[in-house]
Amino acid sequence: MFGPDKCGDSKVHLIYRHRNPVTGEYSEHHLNQPPTPPIDTLSHLYTLTIHTNNTFAIAIDGAERRSGTLLDDFAPPVNPPKEIDDPKDKKPVDWEDNEKIPDPAAKKPEDWDEDAPLMIPDEDATKPDNWLEKEPLLIADPEAQKPVDWDDEEDGDWAAPMIPNPRCAAAAGCGPWERPLKRNVDYKGQWSAPLIDNPKYKGEWTPRRIRNPKYFEDLDLYKLNKIDAVGFELWTMQAGIAFDNIYLGSSHSVAAQIADDVWKPKHDAELAITEALRPKPPPTPKPGFFDVLRMFRDRFEEIINGIYAFYAALQSHGVVTALREERTGAIGI
């Protein structure tokens, strides 16, 4: 399969199907790091070239966008590994693959309190003098009125909406006062034994390697199976998509000539139409009278600031230093 996919990741697919000469099964292999197709309304030319040295090249509109080899740039690789993990090999039940273990000799200290809370009330805190304990945070809106179309039988008993208590705005708080929480200096949390080196540690277990029963090596991947037809796999929500001028052959020069004769004139015409229909940027307005005044004002301020800087340097360091500093300022000497 070869061609653009503008859905999801937006990539140019190259999927190579290969028949395993040992098992007779077909497998699919997808190109790693495929190029991105252009996203616009123009006609584009996609070219796939496969050479007899198992290399390939993908071009879009005549410009190469991806190249590589059929042997190394597909996932999974076409040629399987010579060895594989033995699927029948199982990790022994007594295999220790934990490098560290809790120290079995460690004991929890007697003064370790696992139930001590992380936060406790601050006993040094006192209720502010302007704390209004008897005032609720919310009160019924005294200015609210029951709507004229309110039906108690259908809508239920009407109640005024609640609003923030205005008396609480100037107070430290309203409602029942509670001491703020602070971190408990005696908090230690759940005790756990420190870790030590595992004396039975054997390392990470891996299954033994065996010969791959499906192994083969095909160094002639460029020899494709017989191609009887060309089809299109489509899923789109856009109308007006068309395909034409498909070339399948062994002559790169013929393919290039077809592109120059058929695709390029159409593509150039589409570019010209697109450029002609592109909205023109609004013309830059000429500066008005007040714009000119602002320009003169800004320039005048730069000159005055330069004079002040020169005078300050002259007062502090003398003539030579003042001249040296002023060369980076707004006025010339």
> In three state form, how does the secondary structure of 174-211 look?
ECCCCCCEEECCCCCCCCCCCEEECCCCCCCCCCCEEE
Say if 80 falls within a structural domain.
yes
* pLDDT of the residue at 194: 94
Does residue 325 carry a pLDDT above 60?
A: no
Q: Specify whether the CB–CB gap between 162 and 141 falls below 8 A.
A: yes
DSSP letter at 171? Answer: S
pLDDT tens readout for residues 21-75: 888 899 999 999 999 999 888 999 999 999 999 999 999 999 999 999 999 999 9
Q: Specify whether the CB–CB gap between 67 and 56 falls below 8 A.
A: yes
User: In whole angstroms, what is the distance from residue 69 CA to residue 58 CA?
Assistant: 11
**Same domain membership, residue 248 and residue 307:** no
Does residue 326 carry a pLDDT above 80?
A: no
Residue 285: asked if its preceding bond is cis (omega within 30°), the reply is: no
Q: Specify whether the CB–CB gap between 58 and 64 falls below 8 A.
A: yes
Say if 144 falls within a structural domain.
no
* pLDDT of the residue at 314: 63
Residue 4 CB coordination number (10 Å): 18
Say if 243 falls within a structural domain.
yes
Range of the domain at 66: 2-85+216-262
**Same domain membership, residue 81 and residue 6:** yes
Residues 6 or more apart in contact with residue 57 via CB below 8 angstroms: 47, 48, 49, 51, 64, 66, 67
The structural domain count of the chain equals 2
**Same domain membership, residue 293 and residue 257:** no
DSSP letter at 263? Answer: I
**Same domain membership, residue 320 and residue 253:** no
Share of residues in the chain with pLDDT > 70 (%) = 93
Say if 120 falls within a structural domain.
no
Say if 191 falls within a structural domain.
no
Scan for tokens 């002259």, then name that residue: 314
Scan for tokens 């540690």, then name that residue: 201
Q: pLDDT tier at 298 (50, 70, 90 boundaries)? A: confident
pLDDT tens readout for residues 78-125: 999 999 999 999 999 999 999 999 999 999 999 899 999 999 999 999
* pLDDT of the residue at 30: 96
Mean pLDDT of 202-215: 94
Say if 92 falls within a structural domain.
no
Mean pLDDT of the chain: 88
User: In whole angstroms, what is the distance from residue 157 CA to residue 148 CA?
Assistant: 13
**The two structure tokens encoding residue 50:** 């496969």
**The two structure tokens encoding residue 322:** 């003042």
User: In whole angstroms, what is the distance from residue 129 CA to residue 126 CA?
Assistant: 9
* pLDDT of the residue at 44: 94
Say if 67 falls within a structural domain.
yes
Does residue 288 carry a pLDDT above 70?
A: yes
Q: pLDDT tier at 328 (50, 70, 90 boundaries)? A: very low
Say if 300 falls within a structural domain.
yes
**Same domain membership, residue 55 and residue 6:** yes
* pLDDT of the residue at 331: 40
Q: Specify whether the CB–CB gap between 80 and 218 falls below 8 A.
A: no
Task: Give the CB-side neighbour count of residue 121, counting CA atoms within 13 A.
Answer: 7
Helix (H, G, I), strand (E, B) or coil at 291: helix
Q: Which of 120, 163, 124, 119 has the alpha carbon at shortest distance from 141?
A: 163
Does residue 324 carry a pLDDT above 60?
A: no
**Same domain membership, residue 321 and residue 246:** no
* pLDDT of the residue at 175: 92
In this structure, the chain runs to a length of 333
* pLDDT of the residue at 318: 59
Residue burial 220-230, b: 16+ Cβ < 10 Å; e: rest: ebeeeeeeeee
**Same domain membership, residue 60 and residue 21:** yes
Q: Specify whether the CB–CB gap between 242 and 104 falls below 8 A.
A: no
